[in-house]
Structure 1
Amino acid sequence: MVMSSCLPVWPHDLLWGLSVADVPADAPAWVTGVVGAGQPVVVRRAQVAEGLVAVGVRGHSRDQRYATAMRVADITRRVRPEELIEAVDNQTADWPALRALRQMRPVMDALGLPWGVAGSVGFELACGAAVLHQDSDLDLILRTPAFFSREQAAALVDALEAAVCRIDLQLQTPAGAVALREWAGPARQVLLKADDAARLVVNPWLPEDCAA
């Protein structure tokens, strides 16, 4: 998390305020086009200097992803994944990923934990950019400040399998993020994505418990 005097910023948040003038000179031309169009950038996990936040610019295709940083002081608007859940009610498009979000809302709400929409679905819901297609997945996050057992994870995987498209869900622990499917699986060690690095751990809620 990055904290300014009044604005907490977390991975997967969408931010507005990056200017074309602050795009690195060696960035691909499409990056300048996206930023110039006023589209948001997404907060990513990386360590940057104080006063900056690591962000990613997304283009029109899956291979168009560009990592950079922006000044926290330049942020003019922030939308969190949790804020996008109800936005699907205003959508007239009927892509499978949007249908899956509507379908799985009761399942996610029943967990009693904060959750939200990330990835291409979150991006389209937040800014209206037409990025979804027939084969788009649904990316969700679930905030799990306390231990979420492997048995709970397996039950949630089973519930999400009923969706009309593939759902990829990340558990957001205080130490970083871990894929729900991986935590629900049989492997003793799972990959924890933290701000400083990705590493294998036995318990994603105990980051010091790393694999040897």
Structure 2
Amino acid sequence: MELNTHDLLEFESVKNLISNSPLPEWVETSIANVPFVVVRRAKVSEGLVPVGVRGPKRNERFAAFLPVEQIVRRITPEQLAQERKWNDNSKEIFNYLGRVSKLMNTYSLNWGPVGSVGFELASGKETTTKSSDIDIVIRFSKGFTTSIAKEIEAELKKIQVRVDVQMEAMKGTFSLSEYAISEGQPVLFRTVDGPLLKRISIHDLR
């Protein structure tokens, strides 16, 4: 099974999680209510997936590992974009996500919602609030120039909620905003080995 950062994984029990430190009480409660974790960016051990647990509070995040054989279901950001379940949700933030979707499709981008918006769409449990941003990921592909990045940035700024866009490349992720103004200069990559300043090249294409 190919797994990528931001994928959401459903599993059966908090007992399936592996951690070098004791699990906080909120982790057990959170998993009991919503048995989903998100694949995080970290070095992979044989047969183990690095995952993050979300709690109801913004400061409640816990890093752990999940054995591959314990995965019941995998949901990718791209699947969420294709399913368009936000059409069935009356919350204002999902109306805005519909506008983001139209913009992404205009450029035929391979994209999907992540963060609290993606988590709520995948799990069916309410995780977004009135102060939530929309987080999305775009798979960096051939032809995605800084000019296109600038156009998308300009359109996103017209939306009445903050939209944070991360570009997923072969070996890390970088910010759409930073790429849009890079003009060939290095941008900050987040990689499994930590932050790295580098120029975007063809080798970064997905």
Asked if Structure 1 and Structure 2 have the same fold, meaning a TM-score greater than 0.5 normalized by the shorter chain, the answer is yes
Runs of 4+ in 1 over 4 A off after TM superposition: 204-207
- CA RMSD in angstroms comes to 1.8
Query: In the alignment, which residue of structure 2 is the partner of 1:22?
Result: 16
Distance in 1 between the 2:120 and 2:33 partners? 14
Residue 7 of structure 2 corresponds to residue 13 of structure 1: yes
Give the length in aligned residue pairs: 199
Query: In the alignment, which residue of structure 1 is the partner of 2:49?
Result: 53
Partners of 1:178 and 1:191 within 8 A in 2? yes
The one-letter code matched in structure 2 to 1:63 is: N
Residue 116 of structure 2 corresponds to residue 112 of structure 1: no
Deviations 1:50-91 (CA, angstroms, capped at 9, x unpaired): 111111000001100111111111110011111222110111
Q: Unaligned 5+ residue runs, structure 1?
A: 1-6, 208-212
SS of 1:50 mapped into structure 2? coil
Residue 187 of structure 2 corresponds to residue 193 of structure 1: no
Query: In the alignment, which residue of structure 2 is the partner of 1:62?
Result: 58
Deviations 1:92-130 (CA, angstroms, capped at 9, x unpaired): 3x23x2121111221100111211110100111111221
SS of 2:142 mapped into structure 1? coil
Which of 160, 165, 179 pairs up with 1:164? 160
Distance in 2 between the 1:204 and 1:124 partners? 34
Distance in 2 between the 1:49 and 1:196 partners? 14
Distance in 2 between the 1:87 and 1:204 partners? 35
Instruction: Report deviation, 1:204.
Output: 5.8
Which piece of structure 1 moves more, 27-36 or 179-188?
Answer: 179-188
Instruction: Report deviation, 1:145.
Output: 3.2
Which of 116, 124, 131 pairs up with 1:128? 124
Query: In the alignment, which residue of structure 2 is the partner of 1:75?
Result: 71
> Percent identity over the alignment?
34
Distance in 1 between the 2:12 and 2:47 partners? 14
Distance in 1 between the 2:139 and 2:147 partners? 17
Identify if the C-alpha distance between structure 1 residues 147 and 49 changes in structure 2 by more than 3 Å, giving closer, same or farther: farther
Distance in 1 between the 2:85 and 2:174 partners? 26
Instruction: Report deviation, 1:205.
Output: 4.8
Identify if the C-alpha distance between structure 1 residues 18 and 70 changes in structure 2 by more than 3 Å, giving closer, same or farther: farther
Identify if the C-alpha distance between structure 1 residues 53 and 109 changes in structure 2 by more than 3 Å, giving closer, same or farther: same
Partners of 1:173 and 1:204 within 8 A in 2? no
Identify if the C-alpha distance between structure 1 residues 168 and 157 changes in structure 2 by more than 3 Å, giving closer, same or farther: same
Distance in 1 between the 2:188 and 2:55 partners? 27
Partners of 1:192 and 1:204 within 8 A in 2? no
TM-score after normalising by structure 1: 0.87
Instruction: Report deviation, 1:46.
Output: 0.3
The one-letter code matched in structure 1 to 2:13 is: S
